[in-house]
Amino acid sequence: MPLGRLPIDEQVDALRAILARNELLTEVLARAAKLDLPGWYLTAGCVFQTVWNVVSGRPPAEGIKDYDLFYFNDSDLSWEAENEVIQAGERAFGGLSAVVEIRNEARVHLWYEDRFGVPCEPHTSTEAAIDSFAATTCCVGVRLDEADRWRIYAPHGLADVFNLVVRPNPVLAPRSVYAAKTRRWREQWPELTVLPWPAPVADGG
């Protein structure tokens, strides 16, 4: 049976089994847990692209350019505070053949419009930041809890990830971001089914 048609509890087990095949990801996960960042998740491309690789018969870590580590701390929104965490991460992940990008999602609204051309309301949690990815397929985060148990956040489920379907999520990122990302992904994973960005709703007034 295709993984995307399994009951959800079995899909979660399948996700864990697939991600465990990416030894870089599991090492980043283990080292990230020791940083003990508030509300942290390993998320975005390193998660769903590992699945794409395994499902399509590629090496688990192939084509993954970085490992995104999100956390949420709204008690200090200064760049200096975030940079301290980034520096601690550079020490924690030193020696790994992986680029780990650490970002405080409580600060995203301070720079998002300059980078992407649209305003961003302040996120209220790391989960809210994950919810805003340009594709629902990207909205998956994993972390380890105090007992080294995997915790998985997937607000749109996992079926699209297993089925190599990319579905737009027009809640924050502009269409141009979705187009650029999906164009790049299709070059690496031509098996993907990329669903179109929804047409704007006509104003009936």
For residue 100, the enclosing domain spans 3-190
Structurally, the chain folds into a number of domains equal to 1
Q: Is 201 domain-assigned?
A: no
Q: Is 200 domain-assigned?
A: no
Q: Is 125 domain-assigned?
A: yes
Q: Is 120 domain-assigned?
A: yes
Q: Is 204 domain-assigned?
A: no
CB 91 within 8 A of CB 201: no
Reported pTM: 0.92
Which helix (H) or strand (E) is 33 found in, with range?
Answer: helix 23-35
Q: How far apart are CA 4 and CA 203, in angstroms?
A: 37
Q: For residue 101, list its beta bridge partners.
A: 68
Residue of 40, 149, 156 whose CA lies nearest to 100: 40
Would you write out the chain's pLDDT as a tens digit for each of its 205 residues?
678 777 888 989 999 999 999 999 999 999 999 998 999 999 999 999 999 999 999 999 999 999 999 999 999 999 999 999 999 999 999 989 889 999 999 999 999 999 999 999 999 999 999 999 999 999 999 999 888 789 999 999 999 999 999 999 999 999 999 999 999 999 999 999 999 999 876 555 4
- CA-based R_g, the chain, Å: 17
Q: Is 203 domain-assigned?
A: no
